[in-house]
Structure 1
Amino acid sequence: MRHVLVTGGSSGIGLAVADLLLERGDRVSLVARDAERLAEAARTLSRGEEARAGRIFIVPADVADGEAVSRAAEKATSRFGVIGALVASAGIVEPARFLEQDAAAFDRQISVNLTGVSNSVRAVLPGMRGKGGSVMIVSSGAGLIGIPGYSAYCASKFALRGLAAALRAEMASAGISVSICFPPDTLTPQLERELPLRPPEAQAMIGRVRPQETAIVARAILAGMDRGRREIHFGLALRLLGYFGPFAASYFDLRRGGRPRTG
């Protein structure tokens, strides 16, 4: 039984991951901004079982606030002991064309999606040193290919791949594995809020693929983390983008009727 900290754990992928962790007997600390939604998530996850509820701890905190995340990790450690794994799932998306989106909305996505992950990792790594541990960073398929109307989201999710690679190199000698996953559209409350704001050109590009169920995505994430896989991709298209990068992106441009990039 290990202690796993899940950010963004009040809904969506984070909530589904937490459910699976509890199912196999782990202790789970959930971090999210909204205290009421966290409390509701805890009730849902407990399934009315006292023993299961006893393995759930909730801590309201905004991952963009480094000090708040550190305090949350300290509280979680006091409750359940050393954090052995982190699933950094907290994130936001606010689709808008670059010139139509104000700078504050752009910066907010960078702050939560990128800085929020680094804050979360920084809060748990000291406790893992000398004991080993696992870090799973939840990026997105948007971290593999540029999508119109998603400049801030893509920028933040692309950057996580570099963060994961650097952390992996630094933490290998400490016995801490660092993984990153790139989920496609997933049936979450965030997707419901996002779709009405999605520009038509983005929908034409990515909307043909049926969104995945959260439970399916969560199972793949945990399986990859358990195996210490560096990267977890979902489906052939995202796997090609993950392995072949710009070459695969050029192929998809052609499929959309564009011309291949030459430089």
Structure 2
Amino acid sequence: MVLSGLLLLPILLFLLYVIVRPRPVNIPIKNRHVFITGGSIGIGLAIAKQAASEGARRISLLARSLDQLEKAKQSIHQAYEVEVSTFSADVRDYGSVERAVNEAGPIDILVVNHGVFYIEELEKQGIDEVKTTIDVNLMGSFNVIKAALPLMKDRKDRGPASIALMSSVSGQVGTYGYAAYSASKYGLRGLAEALQQEVLANNIHVSIIFPPPTQTPGAKQALKTMPDITKIIVGTSTALLLEAEEVAKATIQGIKSGCFSIPFGVVGRAATVATAGLSPQRSFIMASIEVVFAGLFRFVGLLFQWNCYRIIEKNKNSHKKR
């Protein structure tokens, strides 16, 4: 039996090499136009600076606050010699987004980074917060991509282009208190998977980024309403949070490599393997890992869920006794 397994392994690996799609690609940042939504602060600004360090020709930032956009522009100019354009728009307003994109001109690298972050039990959360979360995180992403696609398809530079969507580890794993946020981030994955099939013929390559909790203004605000159970499950120590610069660096590297899924750290990579499902996979090596270790990572996932439900049951029971 062991011998037959060893004989089958090369056949399996060869089949994976043949069927893995889309094919690997290298997407340059140097001398390209990088357009970033939510680019005035946090991860978006860090991505802008990372792109500038990679030699981007032009960086366009879209956000709502003119003051924050101006500060971001000056911050980039202090460190890098790069053309920076800023656009004030609410991603929920398709018309204003379309005007900004048309004014910016053809985009080579589109980073859909904007988002809002409310963490609270659904029963306690205001329906307005739920709607805002879905409208900004999900519908806002549709608005940005739909506005940008015509110009991206008609760009004079026919080299490989990229559309990268900022999801979250909460777009892979649902957690107590994250109902609305996870719904919006899970939606981005469906968008990314379908979109990749639609734009591949135009040499446009889609990435989806799954960062863990990161030190951003939005994360700090979310801690104010985060349920106690959620704090126990995910942890709230700032020492556990990634820096925005770490997320930015991995994001740009993932975009350059044309990775569909961009995870972070050992836990993030394990979650990506465990939730691979029917997502695209360019890397023959990663495809092999996903196939060979799918069962093991499913078991690890079940252990994680067991621990989550143990925490929930323990804390719910302690509240009942009070």
Same fold (TM over 0.5): yes
Of 219, 228, 238, the residue aligned with 1:200 is 228
**1:48, distance to aligned residue in structure 2 (A):** 7.0
CA distance in 2, matches of 1:154, 1:3: 31
- Matching of residue 127 in structure 1 with residue 151 in structure 2: yes
**Corresponding residue of 1:25:** 55
**1:176, distance to aligned residue in structure 2 (A):** 0.5
CA distance in 2, matches of 1:148, 1:197: 13
**1:141, distance to aligned residue in structure 2 (A):** 0.7
**Corresponding residue of 2:207:** 179
CA distance in 2, matches of 1:196, 1:106: 17
State whether residues 145 and 249 of structure 1, in contact with CA within 8 Å, keep that contact through their aligned partners in structure 2.
no
**1:250, distance to aligned residue in structure 2 (A):** 2.2
Of 95, 113, 116, the residue aligned with 2:140 is 116
> What pairs with 1:137-216 in structure 2 (closer than 5 Å)?
137-207=165-235, 210-216=240-246
State whether residues 144 and 238 of structure 1, in contact with CA within 8 Å, keep that contact through their aligned partners in structure 2.
no
Of 231, 237, 250, the residue aligned with 1:220 is 250
Q: Which amino acid aligns with 1:197?
A: T
Deviations 1:22-66 (A, max 9, x none): 1222110000011111111111111176x43xx100000111111
3-state secondary structure, aligned to 1:196: coil
Deviates most, 126-135 or 155-164:
126-135
Gapped runs of 5+ residues in structure 2? 1-30, 276-296, 312-322
**Corresponding residue of 2:32:** 2
CA distance in 1, matches of 2:145, 2:64: 17
Deviations 1:240-260 (A, max 9, x none): 22221393542212234639x
- Matching of residue 44 in structure 1 with residue 44 in structure 2: no
Q: Which amino acid aligns with 2:274?
A: F
CA distance in 2, matches of 1:206, 1:63: 29
- Matching of residue 241 in structure 1 with residue 271 in structure 2: yes
**1:208, distance to aligned residue in structure 2 (A):** 6.3
Aligned length: 252
CA RMSD of aligned residues (A): 1.8
CA distance in 1, matches of 2:182, 2:309: 22
Q: Which amino acid aligns with 2:215?
A: L
Of 103, 115, 120, the residue aligned with 1:96 is 120
**Corresponding residue of 2:304:** 252
Deviates most, 206-215 or 171-180:
206-215
CA distance in 1, matches of 2:89, 2:202: 28
**Corresponding residue of 1:85:** 109
CA distance in 2, matches of 1:32, 1:194: 20
3-state secondary structure, aligned to 1:146: coil
- Matching of residue 62 in structure 1 with residue 93 in structure 2: no
Q: Which amino acid aligns with 1:114?
A: L
Gapped runs of 5+ residues in structure 1? none
3-state secondary structure, aligned to 1:86: strand
**Corresponding residue of 1:72:** 100
CA distance in 1, matches of 2:206, 2:66: 29
Instruction: Name the larger-Rg structure.
Output: 2
Q: Which amino acid aligns with 1:258?
A: R
TM-score (norm 1): 0.91
State whether residues 8 and 91 of structure 1, in contact with CA within 8 Å, keep that contact through their aligned partners in structure 2.
yes
CA distance in 1, matches of 2:69, 2:112: 16
Deviations 1:41-98 (A, max 9, x none): 111111176x43xx10000011111111111101111xxxx21110010000111110
